[in-house]
Structure 1
């Protein structure tokens, strides 16, 4: 999914110019409502066409698909489209997941006096047709399936760890301050694993955001490391308590553990400072 967004952003001007020039110059005779379906013959990536009234911002035509026509959307408000598309500088939306087709698409707006024609293009197919993307269906499907299974399995692990942390509190039958330390560590690790699985599923399996966050990997890495540092700090604190109660001569072990944690915190701080956009 990230690859699609990166290629689109790198070639946005070319893609927009190609679509506008082709539609306005080559197929301008097809822009009347009774000829709209013929546009599908020129654009293999085109998947949806509809017309919106400029004054009321409501849809005044059915949804025209490649092989069917749906009149249920007629009369619905499309106010959000006029906010999503910058009509002064660009007539194209950012990539988004279409509620009509379920595919990642971009919308091109063609103003026409009192109405506006909206054309939805399948982003993946469009990039392939323009020779900007080369795909292998079997490999892509296998990769997506692997990421989905891995993400959901990590989510299952995080919930299992969360449930086990509750069991840890009550398994000895009596509560003490020490009985809460390990569950807190387990919960912290569960949060770290859940955040990692959530990011994996959002970025590689499901499409959530309209635009790619270039720092999402760094943000996820920082959140994961912070969670691990919290768990290690609590473990180090537990070690100090245990050593102080049983054998004070082993306190140097706790010192080296704290020293290692401090070094990790210093390294993470340096990483964040050198990546100010995180």
Structure 2
């Protein structure tokens, strides 16, 4: 689910930065005379009582050296005094931009999980940089805080459960169609196989493959959260699904042509109507693919 979480973070990044920077700005004194480490720690204490999802709080001096041990509810994370963190993004970006910043997700050395860091420059009344106040929070906790409907929120987990149930149901249907499609070959000898049964089995197996392909796309995207490396992954799935349906209808219409030509030529007009419907679906699918390719080219430019 890491890719899904990072993708969701990119969507709520600005909202998350605004919220975390608001917490820091509201609770920590800044641009005032007499700003010191104790006043910043008091602000951290207020934030910790307001939101208990943070992993760690710590203060850097203007050169990026951590002044005290990390403040954390987990005693194993209380460390870091004197460490040079000037090469960290939350330090040099904050100093360079001279404002509160939020880093990209990175593996935390404290929790071994993905986290982000919000850092804010602390200045005196003369606008001289004194400290950098830093707050670490796990990526999952941030998503649950900012976007309750995210993949790790309650609604997100419920949605994953629903998609899982539907995926299992559709897979069961695909499996039933597959068994039905091959039983005529398994249970009969070669001489007993009817050509019409071959066409029927081909139709059933084509539908089974189309449903399985749809299940695979839904399960990977919505349950496993795997990224789609193609720009139009969802559209590709729909095109393949509709293409499989068109193939099944084309085979069925061909069967009807042969059947009515032999048994009842007066009914062959209905088979022609079905062939016309298949042709219309192919034209519609071609137009859709043309529009899809054009829109993709326009985005590249």
Q: TM-score, normalised by structure 1?
A: 0.58
State whether structure 2 residue 226 is matched by structure 1 residue 202. no
Residue 61 of structure 1: aligned partner:
none
Whole-Å separation in 2 of the counterparts to 1:188 and 1:139: 35
Structure index of larger Rg: 2
CA gap of 1:253–1:229, structure 2 versus 1, over 3 A, is: same
CA gap of 1:133–1:5, structure 2 versus 1, over 3 A, is: farther
Whole-Å separation in 2 of the counterparts to 1:128 and 1:188: 42
State whether structure 2 residue 195 is matched by structure 1 residue 177. yes
Q: TM-score, normalised by structure 2?
A: 0.55
Whole-Å separation in 1 of the counterparts to 2:261 and 2:228: 54
Does the 8 Å contact 2:105/2:139 carry over to 1? no
Whole-Å separation in 1 of the counterparts to 2:153 and 2:175: 33
State the secondary structure of the residue aligned to 1:208. coil
Residue 9 of structure 1: aligned partner:
10
Residue 104 of structure 2: aligned partner:
92
1:4: how far off?
5.9
Whole-Å separation in 2 of the counterparts to 1:190 and 1:205: 21
Residue 157 of structure 2: aligned partner:
141
CA gap of 1:144–1:10, structure 2 versus 1, over 3 A, is: closer
Report the count of equivalent residues.
225
Residue 121 of structure 1: aligned partner:
138
CA deviation vs aligned residue, 1:212-267 (integer Å, no higher than 9, x gap): x6633322221111110010011111111111221222221111100001011111
1:162: how far off?
0.9
State the secondary structure of the residue aligned to 1:205. helix
Does the 8 Å contact 1:106/1:122 carry over to 2? yes
Root-mean-square deviation (CA, aligned residues, Å) is: 5.0
